[in-house]
């Protein structure tokens, strides 16, 4: 049995970093994934002919070195591929009610796009394959 999750989507907010009392760095961000809405096995379309999309939000948690890399290089809107596992938590709120949560513990995060700031600040990083004379 395995607990494996692979998600590709867009970062919904700038990653937030916090440090536990024991010194562990934890980075959290939200990730949006989308899929076409189906009705009777067919893709649903709006009045203009565009596919109707359903978006789901996922809480992603990264620890230590991975968290540091994500915090330094990721920003809202970037496309990333997250490999990890599902982690469920249960706690009792201040009213005495049982509460439940679900998050993805990231083990690997691949950057599928560059931050917008990197694209405008470093024009030499832009792919210029079409300028090669052969």
Q: What share of the chain is helix, strand, coil (3-state, %, to 5)?
A: 15, 50, 35
Digits of tens for pLDDT over the chain (134 positions)? Answer: 999 999 999 999 999 999 999 989 999 999 999 999 999 999 999 999 999 999 999 999 999 999 999 999 999 999 999 999 999 999 999 999 999 999 999 999 999 998 766 666 655 555 555 555 54
Kindly report the pTM of this predicted structure: 0.80
How many CA atoms lie less than 13 Å away from 57 in the CB half-sphere?
8
Cα 119 versus chain centre, distance = 20
H/E stretch holding 39 reads strand 38-39
Q: Which tokens is 104 given? A: 């993805």
């Amino acid at each position: 049995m395995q607990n494996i999750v692979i998600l590709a989507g867009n970062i919904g907010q700038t990653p937030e970093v916090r440090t536990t009392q024991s010194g562990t760095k934890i980075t959290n961000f939200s990730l949006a994934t989308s899929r076409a809405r189906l009705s009777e096995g067919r893709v649903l379309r709006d009045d203009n002919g565009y596919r109707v999309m359903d978006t789901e939000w996922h809480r992603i948690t990264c620890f230590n070195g991975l968290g540091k890399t994500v915090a330094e290089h990721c920003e809202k809107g970037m496309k990333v591929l997250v490999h990890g596992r599902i982690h469920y938590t249960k706690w009792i709120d201040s009213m005495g009610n049982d509460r439940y949560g679900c998050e993805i513990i990231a083990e690997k995060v691949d950057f599928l796009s560059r931050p917008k700031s990197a694209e405008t600040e470093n024009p030499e990083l832009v792919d210029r394959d079409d300028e090669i004379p052969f």
